[in-house]
Amino acid sequence: MGWVMVGEVTATSVAQPPYLTGCAIFSLFPPALLTLRPMAPSHSNSIDAPWREASCLDASCLDAKVFAQRRQRFLEALGGVAAVIPAAPLVTHHADVEHAFRQNSDFWYLTGFDEPGAVALLLPHRPDSPFVLFVEPRDPSAEVWNGFRWGCEGAVNQFGADLAHPRSELAERLAAYLEGSEGIAFRVGRHPQVEPLVLAAWGRQLDRAPRSGRAALGLVAPCPLLHGLRLRKSEAELERLREAARISAEAHELARRVARPGLRERQVQAVIEQHFLEQGARGPAYGSIVAGGDHACVLHYTANDGELRDGDLLLIDAGCSLSDYYNGDITRTFPVNGRFRGEQRALYDLVLAAQEAAVAVVGPGATAEGVHDMAVRVLVEGLVELGLLRGSVDGIIEQGAFRHLYMHRTGHWLGLDVHDVGAYRLGEHPVTLEPGMVLTVEPGLYVSDRLAVPEGQPAIDDRWKGIGIRIEDDVAVTERGHEVLSAAALKSAAAMEH
């Protein structure tokens, strides 16, 4: 059971320096009463996933057996092809200061190893040592500056590598490890420090092929195989996504309780992201969008520097990223002063109807395209009734004459990446939803002068302008339909008012 703070900080708390109170962020708000109350638990119906990983034994991470099972599945899919999967490097922010490290999701999915610069080899042609890691070795003089390293011994004992070597030895050892494979799976164009080593190793095989009689036949992308595995979440992954949704939903509920006219958007952002950190998440999964009034009509608005005004709506698109990189992604929109005005309520009811109709489509055998099509149809029907569109519903949809009001798709895959990997179409055919897939469902309406009104459509009256609304949930496909992971974030019109 989670807890959310309701109301505002007491006058006594306001007087405290920020570093003396765990609720320091609330010194931003006028004094009043701070109370706690339990959050309603999110849905936790069991999921019949397409395959079963070992259960997560620790609330902060997946069990090591999970990663071993993933590697085994990937090795089986590779056949006789060897895979080279690099970790993410450190990225410079400015001068000699690096951004906070974020592991490459493919590398993490297979290893659970959270250090920069490593390289994993998956070698099905070497059954005695199919998993090899190249890592930075233990070095007290480096660790005193940048923290603990697992080193080669830790790579074997803690992360299940069959063999481990210092990263500096990759250039001299790689060719030998790739020898005998039928091909090499490596993502070209993404890893500039490793790519020359892979190409050189393959080149030497090709040079010797006339005499040796063997060489890797080609360089292939690992993405189709690996991303196909990542698209279908296991039960353990679904548990982590539920946790990310729980924390994210609590933050949205908290934000709605503290928002009021006169606050700054970033003050609400601070409340949201403080909750993420207090609950043990790494922080926000992406740049939190806290968009008051017309700012909500900018889809990726992240300045968050405006003042919340009486009579405006506030759109919040925010989710947390857990310690093992699983993400939440939730959007809610509500009136800053606690009461919708007429046009706001009309559009909110329409977006909510479209979102609920689209969520209802999610289930085995459906498609993400079908989810989008349902949302579009409900929105267009409602916009015609409101006079914001003119013509037949089918004609408007066919011509795309609604796109000045709704210009994005209705969702995306969700997992280790917020916009997670996995195909939406295979050639001419949309990918069919299967149990274990997780997607967002997020229709919206954005009424402004930024895009021209299509020819034949009515001009927009000023009373509608500056209204931006999006409602987004995280939805898992189950054997019998779907589970809304983010259901604890309320979205009824009545709940949005106070």
343 and 422 share a domain?
Answer: yes
Question: Any idea which of 22-36, 272-286, 290-304, 429-443 has the lowest mean pLDDT?
Answer: 22-36
Catalytic residue among 53, 329, 420, 483: 329
Query: Which helix (H) or strand (E) segment is 345 a member of?
Result: helix 342-361
Looking at the chain, the number of H-run helices and the number of E-run strands are 14, 22
Whether 204 and 276 share a structural domain: no
**Is-contact 472 331, C-beta < 8 A?**
yes
State whether 184 and 306 are in the same domain: no
Is the same domain home to 252 and 399?
Answer: yes
Query: Which of 31 and 62 is assigned the larger pLDDT?
Result: 62
Burial state string for 308-338 with b = 16 or more CB within 10 A and e = fewer than 16: beeebbbbbbbbbbbebbbbbbbbbbbbbbe
Domains: count for the chain: 2
Secondary structure (3-state) at 121: strand
Tell me the mean pLDDT in the region 9-16: 31
- How far apart are the C-alpha atoms of 44 and 471, rounded to whole Å? 21
Q: Look up 442 and say whether it is catalytic.
A: yes
User: pLDDT digits over 210-229, tens only?
Assistant: 777 777 788 999 999 999 99
In a domain, 46, yes or no: no
280-321 tens-digit pLDDT: 999 999 999 999 999 999 999 999 999 999 999 999 999 999
Q: Are residues 310 and 423 in the same domain?
A: yes
Domain extent, residue 177, equals 79-229
Reported pTM: 0.88
Q: Which one from 136, 442, 474, 483 is the annotated catalytic residue?
A: 442
pLDDT at residue number 205: 87
Same domain, 221 and 321: no
The one catalytic residue among 446, 473, 474, 483 = 446
For the stretch 401-414, pLDDT in tens is 999 999 999 999 99
Looking at the structure, tell me whether residues 285 and 219 fall in a common domain: no
Q: Is 408 considered catalytic here? A: yes
48 assigned to some structural domain:
no
Q: Determine which one of 52, 339, 403, 419 is catalytic.
A: 419
Q: Does residue 63 sit within a domain?
A: no
Residue in 470, 474, 482, 483 annotated catalytic: 470
98 pairs with which residues across the strands?
92
The single residue of 294, 324, 472, 474 carrying the catalytic annotation is 472
Residue 63 known to be catalytic: no
Query: Is 50's pLDDT higher than 50?
Result: no
Indicate if 446 belongs to the active site: yes
For residue 79, is pLDDT > 80?
yes
**229, 256, 274: which is the final residue of a domain?**
229
Query: Is residue 312 among the annotated active site residues?
Result: no
Task: Clarify whether residues 203 and 257 are in a common domain.
Answer: no
- Is 317 noted as a catalytic residue in this protein? yes
Residues 312 and 343 grouped into a single domain: yes
Percent of the chain whose predicted confidence (pLDDT) is above 70: 88
Mean pLDDT across the stretch 343-361?
99
Choose the catalytic residue: 126, 240, 242, 412.
412
CA–CA separation, 249 and 255 (whole Å): 10
Q: Is residue 120 predicted with pLDDT exceeding 60?
A: yes
pLDDT of 38 > 50? The answer is no
Residue 384 CB coordination number (10 Å): 16
Angstrom distance (rounded) from CA 111 to CA 62: 11
Quick one: 336 and 385 in the same domain? yes
**Per-chain mean pLDDT for the chain:** 89
The predicted structure's pLDDT at residue 211: 74
Q: Is the dihedral of CA 490, 56, 237, 434 positive or negative?
A: negative
Least confident segment among 5-19, 140-154, 215-229, 361-375? 5-19
For residues 245 and 488, is the Cβ–Cβ distance under 8 A? yes
Catalytic residue flag (residue 419): yes
Catalytic residue (choose from 204, 264, 309, 408): 408
Q: Which of 25-29, 189-193, 335-339, 443-447 has the lowest mean pLDDT?
A: 25-29
Residue ending a domain, among 210, 229, 248, is 229
289 vs 274: CA distance, rounded Å: 15
**In 134-155, which positions are buried (b, 16+ CB within 10 angstroms) versus exposed (e)?**
bbbbeeeeeeeeeeebbbbebb
